[in-house]
Amino acid sequence: MTTPAAAALYEAQHVYAHEGRPVAIHNPRNAPIESLPIIFGFNNGGSPGWMSAVLLAEDGTPLGGHLCSSETYMLADLGILQGTRPDRHENDFQKHYPDGYRMEFVGGEDIAGHESLNAAIARANANKED
């Protein structure tokens, strides 16, 4: 079990290590970036120390998830940032969107007002009903 001070230090080091890193984009056909479908990463709730991070394609396909101790870690743990989680990009994301995609992270406080993420969630829910 780590101390709160050690956890805060580790989180600060994590932020520093990833500071300024852009979001990941896979664009093998050199298409306009805004035309690429989005893979959303978002904080699906929980409590500090046990937060649910989710990956959802714009078309409503679930692409993975991760448990994180803090929302701060979600961007790297999900592969949102360039150079993070190449396993997810090669094994999941590029197979789902071989012609390209762009990553976007939505924090827990921003989900309710995020129109395109909510549309993807609605598509995912509709797919469950089929």
Identify the domain containing residue 73 by its residue range: 22-129
Please check whether residue 70 lies inside any domain of the structure: yes
Q: What would the pLDDT profile of 79-130 be if each residue is shown by its tens digit?
A: 999 999 999 999 999 999 999 999 999 999 999 999 999 999 999 999 887 6
- In this structure, the chain runs to a length of 130
Please check whether residue 10 lies inside any domain of the structure: no
In 3D space, the residue among 121, 103, 129, 105 whose CA is nearest the CA of residue 60 turns out to be 121
CA distance 30 to 119: 26
Q: Which pTM value belongs to this model?
A: 0.91
Q: Can you give the pLDDT at residue 3?
A: 85
Structural domains in the chain (count):
1
Please check whether residue 100 lies inside any domain of the structure: yes
Q: Are 63 and 93 in contact (CB under 8 A)?
A: yes
Residue 1 has pLDDT above 60, yes or no: no
Please check whether residue 36 lies inside any domain of the structure: yes
Q: What would the pLDDT profile of 45-55 be if each residue is shown by its tens digit?
A: 998 889 999 99
Separation of CA 78 from chain center: 5
| Residue 19 banded pLDDT, cuts 50, 70, 90 | confident
Q: Are 64 and 55 in contact (CB under 8 A)?
A: yes
Please check whether residue 37 lies inside any domain of the structure: yes
Q: What would the pLDDT profile of 22-47 be if each residue is shown by its tens digit?
A: 999 999 999 999 999 999 999 999 98
Please check whether residue 35 lies inside any domain of the structure: yes
Please check whether residue 12 lies inside any domain of the structure: no
Residues 55-63 have a mean pLDDT of: 98
Q: Can you give the pLDDT at residue 9?
A: 82
Please check whether residue 15 lies inside any domain of the structure: no
At 16 the three-state DSSP class reads: helix
Q: Which strands sit side by side in the sheet containing 101-106, from one edge to the other?
A: 25-26, 101-106, 38-47, 50-57, 62-68
